[in-house]
Structure 1
């Protein structure tokens, strides 16, 4: 996917230097929460209220939930095509899983514990079979415990579009294997942490929001490799993954990449493979 934002086209910006060194053409996205209503961008249609209490009282309108279903990664995919923003809130959530992962409701719904695991016997809900049982799914949702949304809206947009007074909490790169090699090694270089990159189980939106916030809450900020979510792969380019870092780590990338392996002849060889990949995919 080619870059449509100005930063990557401006050779004298720190971000442009990093992207050129990596051989990456798409500007990363920043994720942040705000109480200021977005004036543009892609968002799901409004959906009914969600909570475990409402579900157990039989008051969740599932017809309306599925009638307005929209994946977080799907809206982000549309935004990436235009170099635009995607945003969500407790009403415009699109997906019950996404609403949970972005911090708009908790605990997770019983239906979702069945849906991502073995399904509901005697119903058409066969389950995605991503976890071995609803109990396993409930344990996962309990352990990861997404941070409650700190403001009304969750917004994702290219980091080049952040204005004064706006700072992303997480920065999300979209890349294939060769560039991911560079990002992972650069993360180890700037942190001197041999286990800085994590690749946990999760949903596509969990990799860019829930897991990074979880690691930060544990006192160890980490880079998170996604998207190992089969359901979200339709919204990624072939072989493409996400690589999400806290903003502070992103700033280290911008400042310290010239000290790393990226300017070396070794990386120049890798960049030739990146160029061949881009040519093969007509990017």
Structure 2
């Protein structure tokens, strides 16, 4: 499957197709069961041409399990949700339960991750606000065994993606925002929720896909995920996840649009 958008915005990497499947591709990259990993590595790998896959046993981290639609994996976080609430905010060092959990997981964690477990990532002001964040997430337990990331041009006949993910610079992001609104007659067809990088390419597009007028989802406001994507794809990138129905709509809107006019061409000329 090819993309007219890819050519029109001079995308340097492959658009990534996200699919649900009950069988995994034989050549796919996958984390080992129980091993830590970031889902954005799999998505970035697909942008560079390599298929990736994850399951309920191989989603890499608890937030990734939530983000890919494998239910509420925060329940399985070391020390439970209480420790997770403190991990994302003020840390577990002041709690006996938290200190015990930190000691238990220390042999299995990177030094930086263990420091975050004890002293917090500081992404929320309080553990109570973390719980409100969890409650707001559009969690789902998908009816499939695997989530697969494929370069769009590797999609075969009979495969229907759930969404298409672009990794874009500020100019390209601007163009995709315009294009998502181009045929709608209103101006709020793109959202930018605060969530983990994997959640903005997973459960949020899943939710939007259920709407009669699905919206695109901007991501990589997750600072931790930005670190990993920067190492694989370079700097100054955002993700733009498009439910498949909206992707088809946007593909059909390229011809005759601003993407063929001088303002865009002046921006895209040096890419």
Q: Mark yes or no: TM-score above 0.5.
A: yes
How far off its partner does 1:75 sit? 2.9
Aligned with 1:176 (options 149, 169, 172): 169
1:141 aligned residue (134, 146, 165): 134
Choose from 214, 217, 240 the match for 2:237: 240
Task: Give unmatched runs, 5+ long, in structure 1.
Answer: 1-6, 8-12, 48-67, 279-283
> Are the counterparts in 1 of residues 164 and 242 from structure 2 also a CA contact under 8 Å?
yes
RMSD over aligned Cα, in angstroms? Answer: 1.8
Q: Distance in 2 between matches of 1:226 and 1:92?
A: 22
Q: 2:78 maps to what in 1? A: none
Q: Which has the higher contact order (CA 8 A, sep 6+)?
A: 2
Question: CA, structure 1 residues 107+45, in 2 after alignment: closer, same or farther (shift >3 Å)?
Answer: closer
> C-alpha displacement at 1:121, in angstroms?
3.2
TM-score by length of 2: 0.83
CA distance in 2, matches of 1:268, 1:33: 36
Measure, in 2, the Cα distance between the counterparts of 1:215 and 1:248. 10
Q: How far does the alpha carbon of each residue in 1:140-191 deviate from its partner, in whole angstroms, 9 at most, with x for none?
A: 1122131212200001111111112211111000110011111110111032
CA contact 2:71–2:140 (8 Å) conserved in 1: no
Is the aligned partner of 1:38 residue 2:25?
yes
The 1:167/1:218 distance shift into structure 2, 3 A limit, reads: closer
1:132 is aligned to 2:125 = yes
Deviation at 1:196, TM superposition (A): 0.7
Aligned residues: 240
1:24-57 deviation line (CA, Å, top 9, x unaligned): 232210111111132112111102xxxxxxxxxx
Other-structure match for 1:87: 53
Distance in 2, Cα, partners of 1:113 & 1:149: 24
Match of 2:38 in 1: 71
Structure 1: distance between partners of 2:192 and 2:65: 22
Q: Please, what TM-score do these two structures have when normalized by structure 1? A: 0.79
**CA 1:218 to 1:107, structure 2 compared with 1: closer, same or farther past 3 Å?**
farther
Relative distance call for 1:154 and 1:167 in structure 2 (3 A) is same
Q: Is the 8 A contact 1:77 1:235 kept in 2?
A: no
Distance 1:214 1:141, change over 3 A: farther
Q: Cα offset for 1:267? A: 1.2
**How far apart, CA to CA, are the structure 2 residues paired with 1:218 and 1:163?**
26
